[in-house]
Structure 1
């Protein structure tokens, strides 16, 4: 296997220490609106933004980049466990709001604090705020008034860029035909891209072979069989 030096990395949670910053972010049409959101901070249309997207669409990676830029405090645990947020100013991040329960009163007070003190609040979720099972009427009203930015499933362009860079992070060269083969058959998810590249790398190393389409096909088949 040919290996080369590569300095450009991805904002993905891998064991190869990729960089989570705006400079190294890969952009395609599917995430362009969300990237624009990150770039425009702190000049948002409103103090609260809900970033919505399916699993593996990259919303958590973008939230991580925004947190680094804004020095936002991650208050997810506070809101999940009913602990008050002990801050009055600044930027705040609440992840996966619709995946588990949270203290509705605490979130309502946080939103008011952000509005009154010129702060920012970024919330990530899989579904639109109107679909969340929120009982507190005042909170529902606040959430429905938030700016919503949606991310679609990764498109072919983004998946190809991601896979090339994931291999590059491992100092691996891979034929473009192998990447195209993967993109046309894999689950459309950045998380899946990470897992597939890891499995291909491990299998190639264990056999002392270069990365080929046949090896990629074997990994995809194993993953498909594991889900049956």
Structure 2
């Protein structure tokens, strides 16, 4: 497999269960997503895999996935005729109408005997939901928490991100990146994208030297 290609390839995230790497930092959350709870809250930092696991859950439950900010735009009674995953609930912390719509959806989905998944970054108590009835129902739900990745998981994620782009880094590159990068999936995705761009711009293979310049925020096109 070539170390770099002379043209940009699309990078499409794989969101199936087989594509989610399980490690001690996320094993409990994965088990809860694969369980039978009618209502579940999935929490974690940005880039921890909430969207991926929401798609895994939705595939199992044949559920619709909607953003919390878009619930108001839906026909809520119609949406409640099946399981629903609502992403990024903290995004409606300052939107009273959106919170009322989510509360209505919450009650209808469960009343119809379907399942509901709510996701958001950070702890539930920090979501800032101001509608008391909605806040209390979210707080009462079982919560699956995703933690930042450990070294083993972060290395596997980096290897997969490079493979998705048909890139083969030098053997010492991934350990070098782990020592210097921010410890999150979001940071891993951003770093691999930047390394890909720098490799293409400079027509050089992926290496520690190239990575050092990218990590130090130098211009990828600089020679």
Given the two structures, how large is their TM-score scaled by the length of structure 2?
A: 0.83
Q: Quick check: 2:82–2:115 contact (8 Å CA) kept in 1? A: yes
Q: Which secondary structure state, in structure 2, belongs to the residue aligned with residue 176 of structure 1? A: coil
Q: Quick check: 1:200–1:215 contact (8 Å CA) kept in 2? A: yes
**Equivalent residue for 1:174?**
169
Distance in 2 between the 1:208 and 1:150 partners? 41
Taking structure 1 as reference, are residues 75 and 20 closer, same or farther at Cα in structure 2, changes over 3 Å only?
closer
Q: Is residue 2:191 matched to residue 1:187?
A: no
Output one character per residue of 1:174-203: Cα deviation in whole Å (capped at 9) or x when no partner: 233210110111011212111111111221
Q: Give the aligned length.
A: 210
Q: Is residue 2:100 matched to residue 1:105?
A: yes
Structure 1, 60-69 or 72-81: larger mean CA deviation: 72-81
Q: Quick check: 2:40–2:142 contact (8 Å CA) kept in 1? A: yes
**Equivalent residue for 2:55?**
64
RMSD of Structure 2 on Structure 1 (CA): 2.4
Distance in 1 between the 2:89 and 2:58 partners? 16
Taking structure 1 as reference, are residues 66 and 167 closer, same or farther at Cα in structure 2, changes over 3 Å only?
same
Q: 1:117 aligns with which of 112, 123, 128?
A: 112
Output one character per residue of 1:69-121: Cα deviation in whole Å (capped at 9) or x when no partner: 32211232575546541233321011111123442222222222222222111
**Equivalent residue for 1:94?**
86
Distance in 2 between the 1:176 and 1:132 partners? 41
**Equivalent residue for 1:164?**
159
Q: Quick check: 2:109–2:116 contact (8 Å CA) kept in 1? A: yes
Taking structure 1 as reference, are residues 168 and 127 closer, same or farther at Cα in structure 2, changes over 3 Å only?
closer
**Equivalent residue for 1:213?**
208
Output one character per residue of 1:141-186: Cα deviation in whole Å (capped at 9) or x when no partner: 2112111111111221111001111111122222332101101110
